[in-house]
């Protein structure tokens, strides 16, 4: 049984999508939550209320992690420690994606993507690692990557580059921080339905096409990500370090799908 009682987690980008699913799974396991969102809007307040109904403490902090990195990270770190000095789990989840292809993307868009998807992860983890090492308490870090860190898409060159960096960050920070009592891992979702992916999935034929490219033939909601995250920051995963666990229905294992006519197996006909 996964239990996180006695722990407090900061979940960045935790008011919706994968971040909220992670926050709720951690809360179900007994962790208190500091929930980060871009702003204190109705979506954020509803997420806080839902987590509190799980009989744990939950505080909301706000910061724009796509802003200049040092100021944004300092603001979030300070707010988070003020909300709870006991944070010993960091879920570094906040991220975004943009859709211009490589020839069309401009410098400002690429820089913003890197600030949010790479720089903010790196320096927020550094802030907490320094605190934990100074306290001698150790800590647990989980980064949210993506299947796009392993498999590229033609119109997501900036996003794919950023998630490849997250994939490498999990390994290098593991090597740096494991000797200091800080466990670093990552989780890489495949295609799941979130507010960011809904507009694409709702286009005619897209969901069916993506199911064709996924061995278990599912495009689930973000709730499938929560239990994996809770496990990876729990004591049950104490000897798991530097791993990026893909939660993708098998998509990353498949060289390419069979044509649709081959989906009927001989035993089924």
For residue range 75-91, list pLDDT tens digits in order: 999 999 999 999 999 99
* Region 216-231 average pLDDT: 94
The whole-number average pLDDT for the span 141-158 is 92
Closest CA to 30 of 11, 49, 4: 4
Residue 206 has pLDDT above 90, yes or no: no
Q: In the chain, what are the domain boundaries? A: 8-250
CA–CA dist 244, 232 (Å, integer): 10
Q: Is 70 exceeded by the pLDDT of residue 266?
A: no
Q: Which residues contact 126 (CB under 8 A, 6 or more apart)?
A: none
- Residue 251: the pLDDT is 92
154: pLDDT confidence band, cut at 50, 70 and 90?
Answer: confident
User: Per the residue annotation, which of 97, 128, 159, 231 is the catalytic one?
Assistant: 159
Highest mean pLDDT among 36-50, 186-200, 248-262: 36-50
36 SS3 class: strand
Is 159 an active-site residue? yes
CA distance 135 to 3: 23
In contact, 90 and 76? CB cutoff 8 Å: no
Q: What would the two tokens of residue 101 be?
A: 């292809």
How would residue 12 be classed by pLDDT, with cut points 50, 70 and 90?
Answer: very high
The C-alpha torsion from 24 through 58 and 60 to 45, rounded to 10°, is 70
What is the CATH architecture assignment of 8-250? 3-Layer(aba) Sandwich (3.40)
Question: Which contiguous run of DSSP H or E holds residue 17?
Answer: helix 17-28
159 vs 266 pLDDT, higher one: 159
For the entire predicted model, the pTM comes to: 0.92
DSSP calls for 148-202 = GGTS--TT-HHHHHHHHHHHHHHHHHHHHHGGGTEEEEEEEE-S-B-TTTHHHHT
CA distance 2 to 7: 12
Q: Can you tell me the mean pLDDT for 174-199?
A: 93
What does the pLDDT average to over 231-240? Answer: 98
Q: Bigger pLDDT: 258 or 154?
A: 154
Sorted by sequence, the CB contacts under 8 Å of residue 81 that are 6+ apart come out as 87, 131
Express as a percent the part of the chain with pLDDT over 70.
Answer: 96
CA 91 to CA 4: how far, in whole Å? 14
Residue 163 has pLDDT above 80, yes or no: yes
Cα dihedral across residues 51, 143, 107, 63: positive or negative:
positive
Residue 193: per-residue pLDDT: 87
- How far apart (Å, rounded) are the C-alpha atoms in residues 212 and 197? 17
Q: Is the pLDDT of residue 151 over 60?
A: yes
Residue 97 is predicted with a pLDDT of 82
């Amino acid at each position: 049984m996964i239990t996180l009682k006695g722990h407090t987690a900061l979940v960045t980008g935790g008011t919706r999508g994968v971040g909220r699913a992670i926050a709720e799974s951690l809360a179900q396991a007994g962790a208190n939550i500091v929930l980060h969102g871009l702003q204190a809007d109705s979506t954020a307040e509803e997420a806080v209320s839902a987590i509190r109904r799980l009989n744990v403490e939950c505080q909301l902090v706000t910061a724009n992690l796509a802003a200049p990195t040092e100021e944004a990270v300092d603001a979030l770190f300070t707010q988070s420690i003020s909300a709870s000095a006991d944070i010993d789990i960091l879920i570094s989840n906040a991220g975004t994606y943009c859709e211009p292809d490589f020839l069309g993307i401009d410098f400002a868009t690429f820089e913003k993507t890197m600030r949010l998807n790479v720089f903010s992860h790196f320096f927020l983890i550094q802030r907490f690692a320094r605190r934990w090492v100074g306290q001698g308490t150790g800590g647990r870090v989980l980064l949210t990557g993506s299947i796009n860190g392993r498999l590229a898409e033609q119109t997501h060159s900036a996003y794919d580059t950023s998630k490849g960096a997250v994939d490498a960050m999990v390994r290098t920070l593991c090597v740096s921080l494991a000797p200091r009592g800080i466990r670093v891992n990552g989780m890489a979702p495949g295609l799941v339905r979130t507010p960011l992916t809904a507009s694409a999935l709702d286009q005619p034929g897209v969901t069916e096409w993506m199911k064709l490219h996924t061995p278990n033939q599912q495009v689930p909601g973000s709730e499938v990500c929560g239990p994996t995250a809770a496990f990876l920051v729990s004591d049950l995963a104490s000897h798991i370090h530097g791993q990026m666990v893909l939660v993708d229905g098998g998509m990353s294992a498949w060289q390419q799908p069979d044509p649709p006519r081959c989906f009927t197996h001989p035993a089924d006909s």
